[in-house]
Chain A
Amino acid sequence: MARTQRVDDGLGTPLVAEEGGPAVEAEGLRVTYNGRGTPVHAVRGIDLQIGPGELVGLVGESGCGKSSVAMALLGLLPRETASVSGSLRVAGRRVLGASEAQLRDVRWQRAALVPQSAMNALSPVLRVGEQIVDVIRAHERISKPKALARAVESLRRVGLEARHGASYPHELSGGMRQRAVIAMATALHPDLLVMDEPTTALDVVTQQLVLDQVQALSADLGFAVLLITHDLPLLLGWAQRIVVMYAGSIVESGPATELAAHPQHPYTEMLLRSFPPLTGPRRELAVIPGQPWDLREEADQCLFADRCPSVMDACRTHAPRLTAHGQRSVACFLRDPQS
């Protein structure tokens, strides 16, 4: 049953968003932090499309802009210090320039966030179930008992029980708290779940349990997932598509298996080889020389040029654009001398 509704795109033309439309449509998305001192260009005009129900991994190191993308998707960047430009729609709803009321409609119901260190994202003084009830009742006119039934249902979906809902966060293990946060984030059936480094504090077994759970939930409820991590191997066998960011730009994106087997950007290749393999021949780990790009600097060049083993003259005078080749895209003159 297709759910259709009228959506105001803010340009005076009411659009009709249909279920099954893209979860994310970002074009030329920029995030610049204007604190004290020189502005920091954290996200430098990225295009990102996430299809309905698609599992996408966004990977990169500290300072590559991946968390800023997450915050921008949910309209969570502080207006005073962060200027966001470009165009951005989440589940058909405009996020940039949206009013607080419009953003409230996006958050939780269209897109929900599982934040970094989600294990500690719950209020310590409220029972887990009450916190989920609060989220549901903030967005829907529904009685407390009915909201509680919904909360228990969403806890069940992540393998927790009613009695866990009656517990305080400190009474649950780290893995259980993580799942409770996922239950909360999915209680309102969002179209997109954004997970920012959701498993970094968990050990490998719990990590896989959480990822299995999210994959199954996504298949069940049909939401798309953007999983943000620095752990590229973690995404293999989980994500359908991987997007690699460096210094605020997408340098490569493509189907996970192809990207891992044949990385096209030198950064992706070095990143992959920075992780020791568990199987196959032992090999020396890659070391990416030099320092990451200073995000205060703007330059018309490839921002990875100084660290790149395959750098050419063109890399220092022009910025390569992300260019699509079938399902894959890469921003590198090695693959695409024309760009």
Chain B
Amino acid sequence: MIVQLESVTKEFRSSGHRVTALDGVDLQLSEDQSVALVGESGSGKTTLGQLLVGLEQATTGEISVDGSPVRRPTDIAGRVQMVFQDPFASFNPRHTIGQSISKALSIQLRCSAAEAGREAVEALEAVGLYPGADFMARMPNELSGGQRQRASIARAVGGGARLIVADEPTSMLDVSVASQMLRLFRALAGRGVSYLFITHNLAVARYIADRIVVLYRGVIVEDGPVDAVIGHPSHPYTRLLLDSTPDPERGHRARPPVPEETTEMALDDLSDRRRWCVFAARCPHRSPACAAPVALRPRAGGGQVRCVLPEAAGTAGGDDV
């Protein structure tokens, strides 16, 4: 187990009231696994990524990396690395690419500058920036968006990290560059490093991950192998996400209308997470059985789901997408 989260809760204070970004999250990421963390804006997926790299600290709960608990950001040093969304903001514009990457690698690998420089050249070439020595000497503004994102992946991967957290790594890139990045991530996967991809696009998740974790209002509502979750979504929220995801293969097939959380529902106590299922306010299948927090239970095809519907746990097969 590379990373383990136990009942992790994260609260922020915002203009006087508390906002629960994550609510009792239990999650294990094992070696060589590529996991996609999906959910809407505000689902807590970015917060979860930031806890893992030590940019935020959990309000309560335990996070451990390689079996040892994380108390301070320095406990993570080098073992979990992040690839950010914006390739233009993730390098110091006044340092060469080589300076930026060597510095990061020398900290992660606890090695000399010269050694870190050699590692940096290797890392740049591993992500397709040939010859690495040329790219070392360049300033960030001399690189295209795609090259910069490659360089930031080199910085994350080159220091022997056990887990890479990539927060929407392709959403700011042009289509043709994004497809190169997705191919690169898939080529890098399974070399002793685990990946946590944060995305709201399930088609992207399907391409790069082998496991999908669906987060809704800070709670894991479904977690399972990628084909099981996408082929037979068990949670009504996962189905909503799937129906909303643009699909190049969909062609002329009509997309079902997206249900909306109405204002009266939002004002009602349906959104009270201590009294109702976390998804109750928007769920088309809401019943009195949902009037209590719902626990995760095993789902057909592997993984877990947080739903009381009998068909959620399902028999093997389930229904169509």
Q: Which residues of chain A have a CB within 8 Å of any CB of chain B?
A: 61-62, 159, 161, 174, 202-209, 212, 230-234, 236-238, 256-257, 260-261, 270-280, 282, 284-288, 291
Q: Are B244 and A208 touching (Cβ within 8 A)?
A: yes
Residue among A62, A270, A276 with most chain B CB within 10 A = A276
With contacts A209-B260, A212-B257 taken as known, whether A204 is within 8 angstroms of B179 at the C-beta atoms is no
Say yes or no: is B230 at the interface (Cβ < 8 Å to chain A).
Answer: yes
Q: Which residue of B lies closest to A64 (CB)?
A: B174
Q: Which of B21-29, B54-62, B203-211, B271-279 contacts A (4 or more CB under 8 A)?
A: B203-211
With contacts A207-B244, A237-B252 taken as known, whether A275 is within 8 angstroms of B179 at the C-beta atoms is yes
Which residues of chain B from 247 to 270 have any CB-CB distance to chain A below 8 Å in the complex? 247-255, 257-258, 260, 263
Which residues on B sit within 8 Å (CB–CB) of A203?
40-41, 200
Task: Report 6 cross-chain contacts, Cβ distance below 8 Å, ordered by A residue.
Answer: A205-B244, A230-B174, A237-B254, A274-B179, A276-B248, A277-B247
Q: Which residue of A lies closest to B230 (CB)?
A: A278
Say yes or no: is B175 at the interface (Cβ < 8 Å to chain A).
Answer: yes
Residue among B175, B230, B254, B258 with most chain A CB within 10 A = B175
Q: Are B176 and A61 touching (Cβ within 8 A)?
A: yes
Q: Once bound together, how far apart are the Cα atoms of A230 and B321, in whole Å?
A: 26
One of A62, A159, A233, A284 near B246 (C-beta < 8 A): A233
Which residues on A sit within 8 Å (CB–CB) of B254?
237
Which residues on B sit within 8 Å (CB–CB) of A62?
174
Say yes or no: is B245 at the interface (Cβ < 8 Å to chain A).
Answer: yes
Say yes or no: is B308 at the interface (Cβ < 8 Å to chain A).
Answer: no
Say yes or no: is B296 at the interface (Cβ < 8 Å to chain A).
Answer: no
With contacts A159-B260, A202-B41, A208-B255 taken as known, whether A278 is within 8 angstroms of B249 at the C-beta atoms is yes
Q: Which residues of chain B have a CB within 8 Å of any CB of chain A?
A: 40-41, 144, 174-176, 178-180, 182-183, 200-204, 206-207, 230, 240-255, 257-258, 260, 263, 321
Q: Are B246 and A205 touching (Cβ within 8 A)?
A: no
Q: How far is the CB of A309 from chain B (nearest CB, A)?
A: 13
With contacts A206-B41, A285-B183 taken as known, whether A279 is within 8 angstroms of B258 at the C-beta atoms is no
Which residues on B sit within 8 Å (CB–CB) of A282?
206-207
Q: Once bound together, how far apart are the Cα atoms of A279 and B200, in whole Å?
A: 16
Q: Once bound together, how far apart are the Cα atoms of A232 and B251, in whole Å?
A: 11
Which residues on B sit within 8 Å (CB–CB) of A261?
251-252
Q: Which residue of B lies closest to A267 (CB)?
A: B176
Which residues on A sit within 8 Å (CB–CB) of B253?
237
Q: Are B200 and A204 touching (Cβ within 8 A)?
A: yes
Q: Which residue of A lies closest to B183 (CB)?
A: A285
Q: Are B41 and A233 touching (Cβ within 8 A)?
A: no
Q: Are B258 and A212 touching (Cβ within 8 A)?
A: yes
Which residues on A sit within 8 Å (CB–CB) of B263?
161
Q: How far is the CB of A286 from chain B (nearest CB, A)?
A: 6
Q: Once bound together, how far apart are the Cα atoms of A212 and B183, in whole Å?
A: 32
Among all A-B residue pairs, the 6 with the closest Cβ atoms: A233-B246, A276-B207, A278-B247, A274-B179, A257-B252, A278-B203
Q: Are B175 and A61 touching (Cβ within 8 A)?
A: yes
With contacts A237-B250, A278-B230 taken as known, whether A287 is within 8 angstroms of B255 at the C-beta atoms is no
Q: Which residue of A lies closest to B247 (CB)?
A: A278
Q: Are A279 and B250 touching (Cβ within 8 A)?
A: yes
Q: Once bound together, how far apart are the Cα atoms of A286 and B183, in whole Å?
A: 9
With contacts A159-B260, A287-B180 taken as known, whether A205 is within 8 angstroms of B240 at the C-beta atoms is yes
Which residues on B sit within 8 Å (CB–CB) of A205?
40, 240-241, 244, 258
Q: Which residue of A lies closest to B45 (CB)?
A: A203
Which residues on B sit within 8 Å (CB–CB) of A279?
247, 249-250, 321
Q: Which residue of B lies closest to A284 (CB)?
A: B183
Contacts A202-B41, A236-B247, A279-B247 aside, 9 further interface pairs with beta carbons under 8 A come to: A161-B263, A206-B40, A209-B258, A236-B251, A236-B252, A275-B246, A276-B182, A279-B250, A285-B182
Q: How far is the CB of A232 from chain B (nearest CB, A)?
A: 7
Q: Once bound together, how far apart are the Cα atoms of A202 and B207, in whole Å?
A: 21
Q: How far is the CB of B69 from chain A (nearest CB, A)?
A: 33
Q: Are A274 and B178 touching (Cβ within 8 A)?
A: yes
Which residues on B sit within 8 Å (CB–CB) of A237?
250, 252-255
Which residues on A sit within 8 Å (CB–CB) of B176?
61, 270-271, 274, 287-288
Which residues on B sit within 8 Å (CB–CB) of A274?
175-176, 178-179
Q: Which residue of A lies closest to B242 (CB)?
A: A278
Q: Which residue of A lies closest to B321 (CB)?
A: A279
Q: Are A233 and B241 touching (Cβ within 8 A)?
A: no
With contacts A62-B174, A236-B247 taken as known, whether A275 is within 8 angstroms of B241 at the C-beta atoms is no
One of A161, A202, A238, A286 near B179 (C-beta < 8 A): A286
Which residues on B sit within 8 Å (CB–CB) of A230?
174-175
Q: Which residue of A lies closest to B243 (CB)?
A: A208
One of B178, B207, B245 near A204 (C-beta < 8 A): B245
Q: Are B174 and A277 touching (Cβ within 8 A)?
A: no
Q: Are A277 and B246 touching (Cβ within 8 A)?
A: no
Q: Once bound together, how far apart are the Cα atoms of A229 and B308, in whole Å?
A: 39
Q: Which residue of A lies closest to B260 (CB)?
A: A209
Q: How far is the CB of B202 from chain A (nearest CB, A)?
A: 6
Q: Once bound together, how far apart are the Cα atoms of A190 and B275, in whole Å?
A: 46
Residue among A161, A231, A234, A237 with most chain B CB within 10 A = A237
Which residues on A sit within 8 Å (CB–CB) of B206?
276-278, 282
